[in-house]
Amino acid sequence: DTAVSQTPKYLVTQMGNDKSIKCEQNLGHDTMYWYKQDSKKFLKIMFSYNNKELIINETVPNRFSPKSPDKAHLNLHINSLELGDSAVYFCASSRPGTGNTEAFFGQGTRLTVV
Amino acid sequence: TQLLEQSPQFLSIQEGENLTVYCNSSSVFSSLQWYRQEPGEGPVLLVTVVTGGEVKKLKRLTFQFGDARKDSSLHITAAQPGDTGLYLCAGPEGNQFYFGTGTSLTVIP
């Protein structure tokens, strides 16, 4: 059973398009995240949701809009895609932060904007 | 933002060699974690260290948490090609995980 699954795995689209990435976790975790991994492999937090509520929004352009229909799902919608949005996007989940918790990641979605 | 700097950024070694990866911060963390990420996959947790000075061993991997809880190291003995991957340290704080800058390791057979 896949713990954190995100779709699609690959996404190639033209500038200006709107696209969505879906994420689901079956671990019963309350907290879900979106991370962006750039070409230098740096993992940067974008959003954090706890029990469907937005907790962290790290200076992400408002073209990126997360949506959590329930605590097992956290989707990411991106409007008006730009070349600089090309990256690998990871969904993750964890139990509420206690300092000793583990982040479980999906396989990532490689977004290429052309 | 709490910055975790890793060194080296890239490491290419022969099978059987030893290596050490460092993770440093100016901030104190309640715990530090090490993840390994293989190509096309998400990071997977290797270990969590929680006490200053703590040493944990996972087969050929040895992890240490600095006394001041600002740094950590990962030592691999007799590296194998299967150790190839991106190693990331991380500091879990509150509702997020701060990730290090990453060390890309290649072990050549």
Which residues of B lie closer than 8 Å to A, measured between beta carbons? 30-31, 33, 35, 37, 40-45, 48, 50, 86, 88, 90, 92-99, 101-102, 104
Set of chain A residues whose Cβ sits within 8 Å of the Cβ of B48: 100, 102
Contacts for A88 with CB less than 8 Å, ≥ 6 apart: A36, A37, A108, A109, A110, A111
- Regarding beta strands B61-65 and A43-50, do their DSSP bridges make them parallel or antiparallel, or are they unpaired? unpaired
Over chain B (109 residues), what is each successive 10-residue block's mean pLDDT?
A: 89 98 94 95 96 96 96 98 97 86 97
A33-92: pLDDT as tens digits? 999 999 989 999 999 998 888 887 777 899 999 999 999 999 999 999 999 999 999 999
